[in-house]
A and B are shown apart, each in its own frame.
Chain A
Amino acid sequence: MKTILRTKHKTKDSLLKFLIMTSIFVSGLSSCLDNPDVIDTFTDEMMGEYVTNRPDQFSEFTKLLDTTDVTGLLNAYGEYTLFAPTNEAMQAFYQSQNKSSLDEFTLDTLQKIAYDHIIKGYKVKTEDFIDGLMPFLTMSDRFVSTSSRTENSMLFYFINEKSAITVRDIEVSNGIVHVINHVVQPSALTIVQSIAVNPKFTLFYEALLKTELWKELLLTRDDSYNPDDYSYIDVTFIQGGGSKDELPLSRKYGYTVLMESDDTYRDLYGIDNIEQLKAYATANVYHENPDDATVADITDRRNSLNKFIAYHLIDKKLTYSKFIDDYDTDHMIKTYDMYEYIETMCPNTLLEVKKERATAETNLLNKITETGEVVHINKDYKDIDATNGVYHEIDKILIYNRAVAGELSSKRLRIDAAAFFPEFTNNNMRYYDPSKPRSWVFPKGYIKKLRASETTRFCYLNAYGGYLDYQGDEIYLKGMYDFELETPAIPAGTYEIRFGYQPTGGRGAAQLYWDGVPCGIPLDLRILANDPLIGFEEPGSNSEDPNGYENDKMMRNRGYMKGPSTYKDVLGVWYGKRIARNSPQYVRRILGTYTFTESKSHFFKVKAVREGQFMFDFLEFVPVELIETEGID
Chain B
Amino acid sequence: MINNAYLIEMLANYNNNGLKEGAAMRRVTAVSVLDSVPFARSETLPATSYWDYYRTGGMYLLRDNTPLTLMYFTEKHLAQAQITADDFEVLTGTNRATNDAHLFNIRVKTQDITCKNGYVNVLERVLVPPMNMAEYINRNPELKRFSDVLEQFCAPYYDAANTLQYKQLNPDFQDSIFYKKYFACVGGVSRYPSGQSVNQDMLLPFDPGWNSYARTASENALQSDMAAMFVPTNVAMENYFDSPEGAVLKERFGSWENVPVDVLPLFVKRHMRSSLIESVPSRFANMVDEDNSELPVKKADVDNVYIGSNGVVYLTNKVYAPDDYISVYGPVLLSANDAAINNKTKIWKWAIVQPANDFRLYLNSLVSRYSFFVPTDEYFQNYIDPIAYAKDVPAALRFWYNEKTMAVNATVYNYDIATATTGDSIGYITNNSFLANRLLDLLNMHIVVGGVENGKNYYLTKGNVALRVEGSAENLKVWAGGNMQRNEFVNVNKHYQQSNGFTYFIDRPIQTPVQSVYKVLSTTPDFSEFFALLAGFPASGSSVVFVNKTNYFGIDFNIKFFNTFNYTVYVPSNQAIANAVQAGIIKPWDSRVDVIGINDLTDATEKAAEILKLERFVRYHFQDNSVFVDTHTLNRQFQSATIKQDNASTHFATFRNKYYKIGVAASPGQLTLTTEKNTQAKVVTDGNLYNIMTRDFVFSNKPSAFKNPDGTGSGTDYSGSSIVTSSTAVIHMIDNVLVFQ
Query: Among A405, A481, A516, A521, which residue has its beta carbon within 8 angstroms of that of B359?
Result: A521
Question: Is B368 a contact partner of A410 (Cβ separation < 8 A)?
Answer: no
Q: B547-588, CB under 8 A of A: which get 1 and which 0?
A: 000110000000001011100000000000000000000000
B498 to chain A, nearest CB (A): 16
12 A-B pairs besides A521-B357, A593-B624 with CB distance below 8 A are A232-B82, A370-B656, A455-B288, A496-B563, A511-B365, A520-B462, A557-B564, A559-B564, A593-B564, A593-B565, A597-B636, A609-B292
Q: A103-147, CB under 8 A of B: which get 1 and which 0?
A: 000000000000000000000000000000000000000000000
- Measured CA separation A494–B462 after assembly (Å): 18
- Measured CA separation A554–B725 after assembly (Å): 10
Q: Does residue B655 face the partner (Cβ distance < 8 Å to A)?
A: yes
Q: Does residue A44 face the partner (Cβ distance < 8 Å to B)?
A: no
Q: Does residue A216 face the partner (Cβ distance < 8 Å to B)?
A: no
Question: Is A482 a contact partner of B292 (Cβ separation < 8 A)?
Answer: yes
Question: Is B362 a contact partner of A557 (Cβ separation < 8 A)?
Answer: no
A356 to chain B, nearest CB (A): 19
- Measured CA separation A522–B365 after assembly (Å): 11
Question: Is B725 a contact partner of A595 (Cβ separation < 8 A)?
Answer: no
| A414-436 contacts to B (CB < 8 Å) | none
Question: Is A521 a contact partner of B292 (Cβ separation < 8 A)?
Answer: no
With A550-B550, A609-B292 given, is the CB distance from A521 to B361 under 8 Å? yes
Question: Is A409 a contact partner of B285 (Cβ separation < 8 A)?
Answer: no
A286 to chain B, nearest CB (A): 10
Q: Which 10 A-B pairs have the closest CB atoms?
A: A406-B655, A410-B657, A454-B286, A553-B551, A609-B361, A480-B292, A557-B725, A593-B565, A557-B724, A521-B358
| B521-551 contacts to A (CB < 8 Å) | 550-551
A491 to chain B, nearest CB (A): 9
Q: How many residues of A contact B (CB 8 A)?
A: 46
- Measured CA separation A337–B140 after assembly (Å): 71
CB-CB under 8 A from A625, the residues of chain B are 639, 643, 657-659
B295 to chain A, nearest CB (A): 11
Q: B639-656, CB under 8 A of A: which get 1 and which 0?
A: 100010001000000011
With A511-B365, A558-B725, A609-B361 given, is the CB distance from A455 to B564 under 8 Å? no
A-B contact pairs, 7 of them (CB 8 A): A232-B82, A406-B656, A406-B657, A406-B658, A520-B362, A557-B551, A559-B725
Query: Among B291, B361, B449, B563, which residue has its beta carbon within 8 angstroms of that of A624?
Result: B563
Question: Is A533 a contact partner of B356 (Cβ separation < 8 A)?
Answer: yes
Question: Is A595 a contact partner of B625 (Cβ separation < 8 A)?
Answer: yes
Q: B165-209, CB under 8 A of A: which get 1 and which 0?
A: 000000000000000000000000000000000000000000000
| A491-518 contacts to B (CB < 8 Å) | 493-494, 496, 509, 511, 513, 516-518
A450 to chain B, nearest CB (A): 17
Q: Does residue B367 face the partner (Cβ distance < 8 Å to A)?
A: yes
- Measured CA separation A521–B444 after assembly (Å): 10
Q: Does residue B698 face the partner (Cβ distance < 8 Å to A)?
A: yes
CB-CB under 8 A from B639, the residues of chain A are 493-494, 595, 624-625
A452 to chain B, nearest CB (A): 12
- Measured CA separation A370–B645 after assembly (Å): 11
| B395-426 contacts to A (CB < 8 Å) | none
**Residue in chain B with minimal CB distance to A545:** B550
Question: Is A410 a contact partner of B656 (Cβ separation < 8 A)?
Answer: yes
Question: Is A524 a contact partner of B657 (Cβ separation < 8 A)?
Answer: no
With A454-B286, A550-B551 given, is the CB distance from A595 to B624 under 8 Å? yes
Q: Does residue A608 face the partner (Cβ distance < 8 Å to B)?
A: yes
B569 to chain A, nearest CB (A): 16
With A370-B656, A493-B639, A627-B563 given, is the CB distance from A513 to B362 under 8 Å? no
Q: Does residue A151 face the partner (Cβ distance < 8 Å to B)?
A: no
Q: Does residue A453 face the partner (Cβ distance < 8 Å to B)?
A: yes
CB-CB under 8 A from B636, the residues of chain A are 597
CB-CB under 8 A from A410, the residues of chain B are 655-658
CB-CB under 8 A from A518, the residues of chain B are 362, 365, 368
B: interface residue count bin: 35 or more
CB-CB under 8 A from B725, the residues of chain A are 557-559
**Residue in chain B with minimal CB distance to A493:** B658
**Residue in chain B with minimal CB distance to A409:** B655
B292, B462, B624, B725: most-surrounded residue (chain A CB, <10 A): B292
CB-CB under 8 A from A453, the residues of chain B are 286, 288
- Measured CA separation A517–B286 after assembly (Å): 23
- Measured CA separation A524–B359 after assembly (Å): 12
Query: Among B290, B367, B565, B657, which residue has its beta carbon within 8 angstroms of that of A513?
Result: B367
A116 to chain B, nearest CB (A): 40
Q: A545-573, CB under 8 A of B: which get 1 and which 0?
A: 00000100110011100000000000000
**Residue in chain B with minimal CB distance to A552:** B551
CB-CB under 8 A from A559, the residues of chain B are 564, 725
- Measured CA separation A590–B361 after assembly (Å): 19
Q: Does residue A438 face the partner (Cβ distance < 8 Å to B)?
A: no
Question: Is B368 a contact partner of A480 (Cβ separation < 8 A)?
Answer: no
B450 to chain A, nearest CB (A): 9
Q: A376-411, CB under 8 A of B: which get 1 and which 0?
A: 000000000000000000000000001001100110
CB-CB under 8 A from B359, the residues of chain A are 521
Q: Does residue A607 face the partner (Cβ distance < 8 Å to B)?
A: yes
- Measured CA separation A628–B657 after assembly (Å): 13
Question: Is A558 a contact partner of B292 (Cβ separation < 8 A)?
Answer: no
B82, B290, B564, B636: most-surrounded residue (chain A CB, <10 A): B564
A172 to chain B, nearest CB (A): 37
**Residue in chain A with minimal CB distance to B653:** A402
CB-CB under 8 A from B657, the residues of chain A are 406, 410, 625
- Measured CA separation A359–B199 after assembly (Å): 64
- Measured CA separation A627–B563 after assembly (Å): 9
| B711-730 contacts to A (CB < 8 Å) | 724-725
Question: Is A624 a contact partner of B362 (Cβ separation < 8 A)?
Answer: no
CB-CB under 8 A from B288, the residues of chain A are 453, 455, 480, 482
Question: Is B362 a contact partner of A521 (Cβ separation < 8 A)?
Answer: yes
B358, B359, B639: most-surrounded residue (chain A CB, <10 A): B358
- Measured CA separation A410–B362 after assembly (Å): 32
Question: Is A516 a contact partner of B655 (Cβ separation < 8 A)?
Answer: no
**Residue in chain B with minimal CB distance to A590:** B564
**Residue in chain B with minimal CB distance to A554:** B551
Q: A203-214, CB under 8 A of B: which get 1 and which 0?
A: 000000000000
**Residue in chain A with minimal CB distance to B657:** A410
Q: Does residue A623 face the partner (Cβ distance < 8 Å to B)?
A: yes
CB-CB under 8 A from B655, the residues of chain A are 402, 405-406, 409-410
CB-CB under 8 A from A607, the residues of chain B are 292
A483 to chain B, nearest CB (A): 11
Query: Among B361, B561, B564, B656, which residue has its beta carbon within 8 angstroms of that of A511?
Result: B361
Question: Is B361 a contact partner of A558 (Cβ separation < 8 A)?
Answer: no
Question: Is A517 a contact partner of B698 (Cβ separation < 8 A)?
Answer: no
With A410-B656, A482-B292 given, is the CB distance from A454 to B564 under 8 Å? no
- Measured CA separation A511–B365 after assembly (Å): 9
- Measured CA separation A533–B698 after assembly (Å): 15
Question: Is A455 a contact partner of B362 (Cβ separation < 8 A)?
Answer: no
Question: Is A524 a contact partner of B358 (Cβ separation < 8 A)?
Answer: yes
Question: Is B659 a contact partner of A624 (Cβ separation < 8 A)?
Answer: yes
- Measured CA separation A455–B462 after assembly (Å): 30
- Measured CA separation A623–B656 after assembly (Å): 13
Q: B270-305, CB under 8 A of A: which get 1 and which 0?
A: 000000000000000110101110000000000000
CB-CB under 8 A from A406, the residues of chain B are 655-658
Question: Is B285 a contact partner of A454 (Cβ separation < 8 A)?
Answer: yes
- Measured CA separation A625–B639 after assembly (Å): 10
CB-CB under 8 A from B368, the residues of chain A are 516-518
Question: Is B358 a contact partner of A558 (Cβ separation < 8 A)?
Answer: no
Q: A292-325, CB under 8 A of B: which get 1 and which 0?
A: 0000000000000000000000000000000000
**Residue in chain A with minimal CB distance to B542:** A628
Q: A317-335, CB under 8 A of B: which get 1 and which 0?
A: 0000000000000000000
- Measured CA separation A118–B367 after assembly (Å): 51
- Measured CA separation A628–B559 after assembly (Å): 13
CB-CB under 8 A from A609, the residues of chain B are 291-292, 361
